[in-house]
Structure 1
């Protein structure tokens, strides 16, 4: 397979390993408070960390993203690079619009993997009592089949298209500016830009791209999380066990969940957990881009290969 496939796969897996503890907190905060939640389910940010009773709980829900997000990242980068090659003229720096569009197309392509991965991850992170990713995946499949894995898929698709558009746009433009500035500063001092300076630029731009991405889509991510974990907060009681078909028909739409959240908790609910998410995004994406750039150079035998094909 192509170098950008394996570079994307490895960088995605590394990012999940690093960022899962903060992602676990973010998901539980987003899931919010529900009137039908079990009493031992964390429903407020202050109660979230009380459930980290052992170190292994910080890795809860990581199995699905490590496998799924590696494949997602590989698909994302391959689609982005190929799309940009078609959109941008040869021998010219691609325009900001071309970069954003190629990123959005990459996000749409990754939906096939991201929708079931996100659903399993979120349900494993919020479930009480704790359940593994594999148990969650099996349960969803046995109850609803393939359709169940894509619950919340429309919101996930829109989120990924918009988010990855800004992801590549912010990374490429900030890197272009930063490398030009560093090169000019080094030239003015009579020196050449070092590999350390270039690596620091990649880390900083990758981190900034991660933050910019999540700020642009965070309200959509809150809605997606609540939609995908709705069943966990509205499980049927022992006195009344509705048929599966009735339970499906009673599920609210993404728009209904958004309206209910706004009515009950105000506009602030759509940005709850954004601080933790931004911290995670900076670290994870700084490392992801560094790993991706390094892998691209390694797999192409040390030749200088630009991120955009």
Structure 2
């Protein structure tokens, strides 16, 4: 029963991490999606940069415009993070066995993270499709159909494009999550390990206030760096995913590499990394919040980690 209880707790703390990530990171994500959808077309750039995009959203739609599609993100990321962190923790424990060595091992981290990333891509594909379509439809609607809510978007997509339509961009999401999360957890585990080794001292261990400050500081740095590593490695795949998901033409290619080739020919390498600024600006605080929430929720629930 203890094993089952610990497993359930891992999924609960994963949800807490997801909620924290959405609260902090969604406005940055809205700017990123708008840049990816509108600055990679054959008609040229709609927004000069991330600041121009943000100011346009605030002027035309207000603060609520930055949180468009957030309800689907809360639902999707809470469930996704629960499965992601929970599956990662369980797979890591299974591969690590009863080894007393707490030093990170690539042969344990990479398959655990890649498997959990591939699993959550099945949830992320439809939830991100509704989120992206909500985010790109400003007041000047470019598409024939306007959506009043993420649910309305999902229903209309199903009616027009069927089940296959709601999973548009699924292959790009799978590649992004499997590769990106392997990079994320390698960065997290190694940076956390080396920071603890460097900072740990009798002074910290004898003062509970310093211990809390140290743990939060390491959580912020390791989480922030891991999030930036994830997006630096996978942003081109995310650009392809956004284009595939926001294109309403059912005949358009769903092959992320073919789409990326098209973007490269139109906009060069800068087009493949469209939205890099707001993505990295979001990645650090959002993932720092997620890791701190994950680690401290685990402590509250009594999950012991080395």
**Which segments of 5 or more consecutive residues in structure 1 lack a partner in the other structure?**
232-246
CA gap of 1:249–1:55, structure 2 versus 1, over 3 A, is closer
CA contact (8 A) 2:185 2:226 kept: yes
Counterparts in 2 of 1:176 and 1:136: CA distance versus 1, 3 Å? same
Give 1:116 shift.
0.7
Aligned counterpart for 2:230 among listed residues 213, 219, 230: 213
Q: Is the 8 A contact 1:68 1:113 kept in 2?
A: yes
Pick from 277, 289, 303 the counterpart of residue 275 of structure 1: 277
CA contact (8 A) 2:172 2:255 kept: no
Q: CA deviation at 1:230?
A: 1.5
Give the counterpart of 2:70 among 62, 73, 98. Answer: 62
* Superposition deviation, residue 86 in structure 1: 2.0
**Residue equivalent to 2:57:** 51
- Calculate the TM-score normalised by the size of structure 1: 0.85
* Whole-Å separation in 2 of the counterparts to 1:272 and 1:165: 23
| Pair 1:18-2:17 in alignment | no
Correspondence 1:79 to 2:87:
yes
Deviations 1:244-265 (A, max 9, x none): xxx5235463333212111111
Does residue 200 of the first structure (1) align with residue 217 of the second (2)?
A: yes
Say which SS state the counterpart of residue 112 (structure 1) adopts. helix
Deviations 1:99-131 (A, max 9, x none): 122111110111121111111111110024373
Alpha carbons of 1:296 and 1:188: their partners in 2 closer, same or farther (altered >3 Å)?
closer
Worse overlay, 77-86 or 192-201: 192-201
Query: Across the two proteins, how many residue pairs are aligned to each other?
Result: 284
1:157 aligns with 2:171: no
Q: Distance in 1 between matches of 2:263 and 2:47?
A: 13
The runs of at least 4 aligned residues of structure 1 exceeding 4 Å deviation read 41-44, 188-193
1:18 to partner: Cα distance: 1.3
Return the TM-score normalized by structure 2: 0.86
Higher mean C-alpha displacement, 62-71 vs 83-92: 83-92
Q: 1:252 to 1:86 in 2, by over 3 A?
A: closer
Q: Which runs of 5+ in 2 are unaligned?
A: none
Matching residue of 1:294? 296
Following the alignment from structure 1 to structure 2, what is the Cα–Cα distance between the partners of residues 160 and 12?
15
| 1:281/1:51 CA distance change after superposition, 3 Å | same
Confirm or deny: 8 A CA contact 1:33 1:43 kept in the other structure. no
